[in-house]
Amino acid sequence: MFKKILFATSATEACDHAARVAFDMAQRYNAHIDVFHVLGIPSRGYSQVVVDVKTGDEVALDDNYRDLVKEEIRTYYDHQIAKTKNWSIDVAIGLPHREILRIARLMKPDMIVMGGSTGASGSYAHKKIVTGSTFQRVAKAAHCPVLVINRPAGSFWGGFSNVVFGTDFSNAADTAFEFAFKLVKELNCDFHIFHALDITGFQMNNLHTQDYIEDQIQKAGRQLRFKYISKMENFKDYAMEVWEGIPFVEIVKYAREKHADLIVMAYNTKKTDEKDASIGSVAEQVILRANCPVISINRSVGK
């Protein structure tokens, strides 16, 4: 299931928790991990002078500098690399999301692992209200699942055995379901299929009766069973639930209640501009807030 992991990192404290999960996965599932770092952005097209993304300094790029950065990354992750059998370190210059997608096309990993937004060195994305724009762009276009660990608290599980799949019944959710179900079967996990009924209209004076809400919950429950039970054949370790509320809050709460060590969701947003996406898709808000790693899957995964 996980034979090739692409770990995209800023090699700063902001990615430490993502590193914990990425290396743990590599060791646990005997996978190859490629530690990938975009070291700088060219100051102008094809220029050999780049702006170092960590320091903000302009540096002249040559093989020595690349080797120096690789060595720095090697040292930074020394503790984890020492316990990992198959690993490599790659560095590139360019815009981070483009380079991550470029190497993903070449390497064809089973999974891209990322931390949240790095922003200024040392800052954490969970202190922001939006996910990083690099993540948004990678999640939208990647042809493989993208696993994001935004909060340090989400990195203390070790392996996957209790998976929550959040669905909005969209086409992208169908793709996410296929991946989630394959994962739970291969890793012998408990599978929690969950839908959050959006009743946020409540805040805009669109007050529903409790009967109406409960009718909708029952309807969504039927939809869950109709859509997914037939796809699971003889698999029995699943549970299905519908909760009403604010969707991202309910998914985070449900995962916490079930002690989930992984959430799988479709990534639906078409907007990648930080300003437009700031209210965000449900998946982005879950990524920001979850107490466990979150895998987001767009419609192009596996195609």
Partner 1 sequence: MKKKILIIDDDPAVVDYLTTLFEDNGYAACSAMTAQDGLKRAQKERPDLITLDLELPDEWGPRFYRKLSSDKELKNTPVIVISGLSGNKYAVSKAVASLSKPFDRDELLKIVKENV
Binding site for partner 1 (CB under 8 A): 16-17, 151-153, 155-158, 161-162, 256, 259, 261, 291
Give least dist CB 148 to partner 1, A.
Answer: 15
Name residue 9's amino acid. T
Give least dist CB 18 to partner 1, A.
Answer: 12
Supply φ then ψ for residue 37, to 5 degrees. -135, 130
Rounded Cα–Cα distance for residues 244 and 117 (Å): 30
Helix (H) / strand (E) containing 296: strand 294-297
Name residue 245's amino acid. G
> Two tokens at 66?
């690349």
Measured from the CB atom, the residue of 91 and 113 that comes closer to partner 1 is 113
Measured from the CB atom, the residue of 34 and 261 that comes closer to partner 1 is 261
Give least dist CB 189 to partner 1, A.
Answer: 13
Contact 271, 303 (CB under 8 A): no
Measured from the CB atom, the residue of 18 and 144 that comes closer to partner 1 is 18
Local structure of residue 82 (DSSP, 8 states):
T
CB within 8 Å of 214: residues ≥ 6 apart: none
Measured from the CB atom, the residue of 12 and 268 that comes closer to partner 1 is 12
Rounded Cα–Cα distance for residues 115 and 25 (Å): 15
Give least dist CB 154 to partner 1, A.
Answer: 8
Measured from the CB atom, the residue of 99 and 261 that comes closer to partner 1 is 261
